[in-house]
């Protein structure tokens, strides 16, 4: 009995680095240093004391000790990993994870982590979470508790991976508020196992993660739920662990959205850190809500009650005889602005108004609801089904953002040379108060490809068109200028009117 005990003590002393390895090879115990001898004597004193402990009873269960426990565990694991002889050190924690891919308008939904106080750690993750025992028991009720624990702790457990669909149902309700009848879980992708010294709170150890990504297909109620949950997550009454945020596909790949960082290490490692492959896969990922619009041709909204709305292909536009009054025109402009620029330049919305994705605006004011319903009737009476509503409180202009433009009178312009060797067209939008909120004052900077184009536009501005600069100026501008102005809501900066080229926007008066 004595010899096995001595061997165990020797092994412990050796693993702690307290014994001189050369003396140990010779069969002698010699401490490697005086501090090492103090540590060994301290350990022996506790072991010899029948009542002695390093941590009192209940210390590991006391949540007030979480940070101290976390630091202790992290220090232990870091020392283990740094000094291991194994090329692939074994994990001491196994975690199965389900992540939801919710894609709208070229962006992916991320949620704030529950433990938001940790410094230097990305605080945004895809919606989803860890497999728990209840998920396994729901998938396989015949499993005992011991069998469920065994499946959860075993790597490559097919049963655990199957149960991740149950995990996702639970987590989407907790983190996003989605109900089961508001979406379907689609195809999944299993990432390669990912290893990291990680874990929330004191559940901190070198962990093996097996992660499944699931495509999520929303119905309209699910889309509305996501929109409302996003707004609710930013309020003081939020029931969710953290705020919901949308990352562009490029921001996902770069793990950065403004000051927000996303945890995508496992995803990138799956693609051997080749960002271009992840980018391509994200671009090919199907959108989570199949949006259907009423109008499938370009439309130019008017900013003047005396000027008509126009629709149709460029060069073949037709006038829409809507005869809107001033308030109706402003309502339509606000809906159009939100649909076109809601991400980058949102409306300064008023009380009772919530601006949502895909151009939808939720209106909780009875008077405004009625005004919008009346606007919808007026437009449909003119045979123009551009305004869409749902339950008489959600409204939007129903066309694709790339088909949505504003007539020339909505803009002012200035041709400038801000620095040497650069020429630009500045488009100005003045602040527009509307019943739905204020369209902000904005300047859009349009690059001009050459000084020749700059000089040509200057000649048109002065009504002294220089025909020697371009053989076919309209054709040139269709490729060199129009794509840039269209992205800012202006279909054509220069038009042919009565055989003469004209700039129809008003110039800015200095």
Predicted local confidence at residue 116, as pLDDT: 55
Q: Domain locations in the chain?
A: 2-82, 93-284, 299-404, 409-429+440-507
CATH architecture of 93-284: Alpha-Beta Complex (3.90)
Contact predicate 385/391, CB 8 Å = no
The number of helices, as runs of H, and strands, as runs of E, in the chain is: 16, 28
Sheet containing 432-434: give its strands across. 348-349, 437-439, 432-434
Please calculate the CA angle 163-165-168 and round it to the nearest 5 degrees: 120
Radius of gyration from C-alpha coordinates of the chain: 32
Q: Rounded to two decimals, what is the model's pTM? A: 0.88
Count of beta carbons in the 10 Å neighbourhood of residue 320 = 20
Per-residue pLDDT tens listing for the chain (510 residues):
678 888 888 888 888 889 888 888 888 888 899 998 998 898 889 888 888 888 888 888 888 888 888 888 888 888 888 888 888 888 889 999 999 999 999 999 999 976 655 555 678 999 999 999 999 999 999 999 999 999 999 999 999 999 999 999 999 999 999 999 999 999 999 999 999 888 777 778 889 999 999 999 999 999 999 999 999 999 988 999 899 999 999 999 999 888 888 899 999 999 999 999 999 999 999 999 999 999 999 999 999 999 999 999 998 999 998 889 999 999 999 999 999 999 899 999 888 999 999 999 999 999 999 999 999 999 999 999 999 999 999 999 999 999 999 999 999 999 999 888 899 999 999 999 999 999 999 999 999 988 888 988 998 888 876 676 777 888 888 888 999 999 999 999 998 888 788 898 999 987
Q: Which two tokens stand for residue 395?
A: 């409204």
Q: Identify the bridge partners of residue 432 per DSSP, sorted by sequence position.
A: 439
Tokens 């090492």, residue?
36
Residues 274 and 296: their CA atoms lie apart, in Å, by 38
Predicted local confidence at residue 203, as pLDDT: 79
Predicted local confidence at residue 117, as pLDDT: 58
What phi, psi does 414 have (nearest 5°)? -155, 130
Contact predicate 169/131, CB 8 Å = no
């Amino acid at each position: 009995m004595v010899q096995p005990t001595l061997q165990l003590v020797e092994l412990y002393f050796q693993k702690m680095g307290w014994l001189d390895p050369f003396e140990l090879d010779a069969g002698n115990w010699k401490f490697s240093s005086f501090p090492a001898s103090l540590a060994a004597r301290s350990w022996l004193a506790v072991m010899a004391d029948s009542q002695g402990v390093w941590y009192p009873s209940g210390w590991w269960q006391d949540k007030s000790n979480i940070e101290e426990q976390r630091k202790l565990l992290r220090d232990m694991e870091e020392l283990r990993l740094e000094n291991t002889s194994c090329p692939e050190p074994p994990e001491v924690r196994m975690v199965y994870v389900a992540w939801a891919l919710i894609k709208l308008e070229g962006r992916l939904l991320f949620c704030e982590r529950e433990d938001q106080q940790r410094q230097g750690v990305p605080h945004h993750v895809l919606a989803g979470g860890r497999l728990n025992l209840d998920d396994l028991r729901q998938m396989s009720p015949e499993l005992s508790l011991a069998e469920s624990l065994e499946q959860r702790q075993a790597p490559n457990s097919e049963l655990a991976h199957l149960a991740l669909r149950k995990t996702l149902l639970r987590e989407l309700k907790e983190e996003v508020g989605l109900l089961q009848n508001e979406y379907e879980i689609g195809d999944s992708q299993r990432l390669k196992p990912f290893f990291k010294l990680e874990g929330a709170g004191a559940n901190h150890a070198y962990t093996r993660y097996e992660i499944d990504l699931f495509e999520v297909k929303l119905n309209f109620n699910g889309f509305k739920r996501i929109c409302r949950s996003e707004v609710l997550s930013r309020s003081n009454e939020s029931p969710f662990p953290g705020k919901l945020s949308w990352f562009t596909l490029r921001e996902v790949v770069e793990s950065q959205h403004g000051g927000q960082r996303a945890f995508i290490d496992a995803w990138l490692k799956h693609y051997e850190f080749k960002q271009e492959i992840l980018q391509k896969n994200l671009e090919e990922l199907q959108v989570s809500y199949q949006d259907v619009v009423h109008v499938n041709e370009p439309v130019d909204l008017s900013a003047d009650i005396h000027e008509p709305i126009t629709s149709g292909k460029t060069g073949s536009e037709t006038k829409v005889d809507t005869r809107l009054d001033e308030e109706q025109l402003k309502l339509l402009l606000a809906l159009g602005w939100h649909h076109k620029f809601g991400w980058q330049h949102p409306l300064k919305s008023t009380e009772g108004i919530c601006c949502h994705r895909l151009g939808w605006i939720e209106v909780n004011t009875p008077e405004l609801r009625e005004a919008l319903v009346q606007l919808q009737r007026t437009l449909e009476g003119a045979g123009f089904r551009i305004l869409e509503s749902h339950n008489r409180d959600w409204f939007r202009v129903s066309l694709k953002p790339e088909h949505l433009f504003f007539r020339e009178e909505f803009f002012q312009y200035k041709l400038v040379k801000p620095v040497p060797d650069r020429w630009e067209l500045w488009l100005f939008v003045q602040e527009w108060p509307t019943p739905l909120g204020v369209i902000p004052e904005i300047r859009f900077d349009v690059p001009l490809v050459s000084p020749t184009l700059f000089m040509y536009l200057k000649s048109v501005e002065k009504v002294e068109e220089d025909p020697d600069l371009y053989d076919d100026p309209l054709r040139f501008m269709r490729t060199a200028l129009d794509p840039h102005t269209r992205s800012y809501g202006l279909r054509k900066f220069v038009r042919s009117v009565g055989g003469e080229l004209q700039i129809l926007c008003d110039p800015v008066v200095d």
